[in-house]
Amino acid sequence: MRAFNFTLAQAAALASRIMVKYVLFVCTGNICRSPMALGLFRRLVGNRKEIEADAAGVHAVRGQLPSVHAIDVCRQRGVDISSLRSQPLTATLVERATHIFAMTGSHLETIHLLFPQSVEKTFLLREFEEPGATCWRDLPDPIGMGRHVYEECADSIEKALPSVLAFVEETELAVPRYAGASANPRSTMENMPHHLESQAGDRPQQGSLGGPLRKVDPEIAEAVAEEERRQRENIELIASENFTSRAVMEAQGSCLTNKYAEGYPGKRWYGGCENVDVVEQLGIDRALKLFGGDHVNVQPHSGAQANMAVYFSVLKPGDRILTMNLAHGGHLTHGHPANFSGKLYQVTQYGVSEQTEQIDYDALAKQAEEVRPQLITAGASAYPRFIDFPRLRQIADSVEAMLFIDMAHIAGLVAGGEHPSPVPHAHFVTTTTHKSLRGPRGGIVICQEQFAKAIDSSVFPGVQGGPLMHVIAAKAVCFHEALQPGFRGYQRQVVLNAKALAAGVAKHGFRIVSGGTDNHLMLVDLRPKEINGK
């Protein structure tokens, strides 16, 4: 057996070589369009070492200067391409490239014909301009035409390049041959002989596993793009539609979506869970650091399932629960007749005072004494005031009931120190991870140690099967972001904005329910204006 000895420097150099993305622009003679694209792309990329670029022509003669107009038009844009020389497209260039961008459909077909192995990584330069576009967009050849045609060509290239760069950044690296054999099943499937791929129209169909959404399913891509545009162009005032960070979305869109992992860290029913164990444990540890408490389960798919897990862990059908009325600001899962919680348990509801429009804790205490519930539920989806958690615990203890707080709407404010925390006072606390917490759509349960085993069993296998590991990863990222100092400033600004908006609305003659807000919500009484809110 032959031994290979690598120094750390050599290993680093090899790793660097493997991780670089090589972008190749291809036209006909490599003296007009592709040199302009190369020069403008290099300017866009700047000094980034992880992306390199080159250009070639399918019928190029080696060593020719770019055309005079091409040089002049680029120079006016602050780019010097006068040192570039033409070169023909070769197998070496194709093999080296991770992304090949052709100027026209004819170039694309020629590349596929000459180098079938390039099909998965060859694209039209302009096909990424508008997500969801279904037509292939050629970039006309300006050779022999006037300067204004070159100007138009350069304009089109500059317009296309930002989306080209974004595509290069977001796609997986096509591993060069010198990187060695791969055990990656996706790589294996993507490198199957291309004669097995079906043909569609004038262009060989790209393998769907390796293609971006805009190529695989243009209709869905267009809907996604339109939704992104809607979100960016409108002011969003729905608390449950807060914006997540790029890091949260990146984690949720990762390969963790492929992993099935029934069970809990270190106790899975499937093999190969060592990496997702790390992810889930980070989520658990960060949630505990953020909110406190004895135990946390980060697997619930939603707030409703987190609430269900709490109910199922300590209640039997027919048990009594005392909850906040949905019409007074509560939540569907707090005993509404249409919900499982209203069907399985004997529900008594409390509400707000008609005079103060805030929770009447004295009246609630009297109800608790009369009902003697096994569980008191608090937390709201439309209540703009602080909730007195110590008083609720006092009431629960007085009737030997357990206290369950659903803090889904205020979790971000709690994490940011802008709202009192229910965790020290409640037996159970649930929350969603979106809304004010600014994470992915999902839920968690925080509980006292004595209920840990019951909660875990209630989540799995009680109300769920396999956890969504990609969402749990996004939750972990969300908790990490909420632990940063800037998150407190963000939550403080949320409260200030809500108070300012409430004051502004009041100045225009609208009545604010309860007289103001302590959190991110405000309720406006539209009845005097004869507006029904629809």
Residue 5: its pLDDT value, please?
45
Residue 208: its pLDDT value, please?
52
Task: Provide the phi-psi class of 530: left if phi over 0, else alpha when psi is between -120 and 50, else beta.
Answer: left
Rounded Cα–Cα distance for residues 479 and 252 (Å)? 14
Q: List the beta bridge partners of residue 23.
A: 53, 99
279 vs 194, residue with greater confidence: 279
Exposure class string for 403-433: b at 16+ Cβ within 10 A, else e: bbbbbbbbbbbbbbebbbbbbebbbbbbbbb
8-state DSSP, 514: G
Q: Is the dihedral of CA 141, 89, 25, 66 positive or negative?
A: negative
Residue 109: its pLDDT value, please?
86
Rounded Cα–Cα distance for residues 172 and 242 (Å)? 29
Per CATH, domain 250-482 is 3.40.640.10: yes
* Residue 197: both structure tokens together: 């791929």
Name the residue with tokens 């939704």. 227
Rounded Cα–Cα distance for residues 22 and 282 (Å)? 35
Q: Alpha carbon of 188 to those of 103, 176, 183, 255, 473: distances in Å?
A: 29, 13, 8, 16, 26
Among the ranges given (7-11, 160-164, 442-446), the one the predictor scored with the smallest mean pLDDT:
7-11
Residue 194: its pLDDT value, please?
39
Per-residue pLDDT tens over the stretch 240-250: 899 999 899 99
What share of the chain in percent tops pLDDT 90?
A: 68
- 8 A C-beta contact, residue 35 and residue 66: yes
Would you say residue 342 has pLDDT above 70? Answer: yes
Of the pLDDT bands very low, low, confident and very high (cuts 50, 70, 90), residue 325 is confident
Q: What is the 3-state secondary structure (H, E, C) of 200-218?
A: ECCEECCCCCCCCHHHHCH
Residue 172: its pLDDT value, please?
61
Q: What is the mean pLDDT of the chain?
A: 87
Would you say residue 170 has pLDDT above 60? Answer: yes
Task: Provide the phi-psi class of 64: left if phi over 0, else alpha when psi is between -120 and 50, else beta.
Answer: beta
Catalytic (active-site) positions: 260, 262, 406, 432, 435, 441
Of the pLDDT bands very low, low, confident and very high (cuts 50, 70, 90), residue 299 is very high
Q: What is the pTM of this model?
A: 0.64
Would you say residue 195 has pLDDT above 50? Answer: no
Per-residue pLDDT tens over the stretch 388-423: 999 999 999 999 999 999 999 999 999 999 999 999
Would you say residue 116 has pLDDT above 80? Answer: yes
- 8 A C-beta contact, residue 390 and residue 400: no
Residue 297: its pLDDT value, please?
98
Rounded Cα–Cα distance for residues 35 and 83 (Å)? 10
Would you say residue 12 has pLDDT above 90? Answer: no
Q: What is the mean pLDDT of residues 275-286?
A: 97
Residue 430: its pLDDT value, please?
97
Residue 390: its pLDDT value, please?
96
Rounded Cα–Cα distance for residues 121 and 295 (Å)? 48
Distant-in-sequence, close-in-space partners of 451: CB < 8 Å, separation ≥ 6: 295, 313, 314, 427, 428
Would you say residue 498 has pLDDT above 70? Answer: yes
Q: List the beta bridge partners of residue 346.
A: 320
Residues of the chain with CATH 3.40.640.10: 250-482
Would you say residue 4 has pLDDT above 50? Answer: no
Q: List the beta bridge partners of residue 253.
A: none
Please give the CATH architecture assigned to the domain spanning 18-176+212-221. Answer: 3-Layer(aba) Sandwich (3.40)
Q: List the beta bridge partners of residue 290.
A: none
* Residue 448: both structure tokens together: 């006292």
Residues of the chain with CATH 3.40.50.2300: 18-176+212-221
232 vs 409, residue with greater confidence: 409
Q: Alpha carbon of 400 to those of 23, 156, 347, 455: distances in Å?
A: 69, 73, 17, 20
